Amino acid sequence: MLRKLGVTGPFEALFGSGRCQAEVASVYAEVFHRLGYLPIASLVSAERWQEMTAGLRGHFEDRDVSQGEAVRILGEPSLVVDRRVLAYAPADPAAGWLFIDCHAERASRYDVGHGRYTAVRDAEPLVRSVRLSGLASKPG
């Protein structure tokens, strides 16, 4: 049976988790900015936007990229949601937004000296998804 998935549906289908609040908030941030409710101080110029979106696949496809490296490649984001979703807003609202979703894996490690498991987290989140909003053109 098909049903409407709402805003969270695509994220839950892609990531297999109901905990996609930051990703959903980033979608709403774009909408709120378009409506004038969310001012963004650092918009990406049209020239820089073309450079950023033209090389996305070359930067992120088929390799691990840390969140810090993504910022070094693309520059400082216009907005960061929950310290893990980087959002880039172009000066031209018709271009859509670019989102870099990052995730730090949690793992358990047995601590031999203390006889217990401790939770460990990746030192820096890795990029798990690069997405352009629906209005944006396809990257090259």
* pLDDT tens string 52-105: 999 899 999 999 999 999 999 999 999 999 899 999 999 998 899 999 999 887
Confidence class for position 2, pLDDT limits 50, 70, 90: very low
Please return the burial class of 23, using the count of CB atoms within 10 Å of its CB with bins 0-12, 13-18 and 19+. Answer: buried
* pLDDT tens string 4-41: 566 666 666 666 665 678 888 898 899 999 999 999 99
Please return the burial class of 10, using the count of CB atoms within 10 Å of its CB with bins 0-12, 13-18 and 19+. Answer: middle
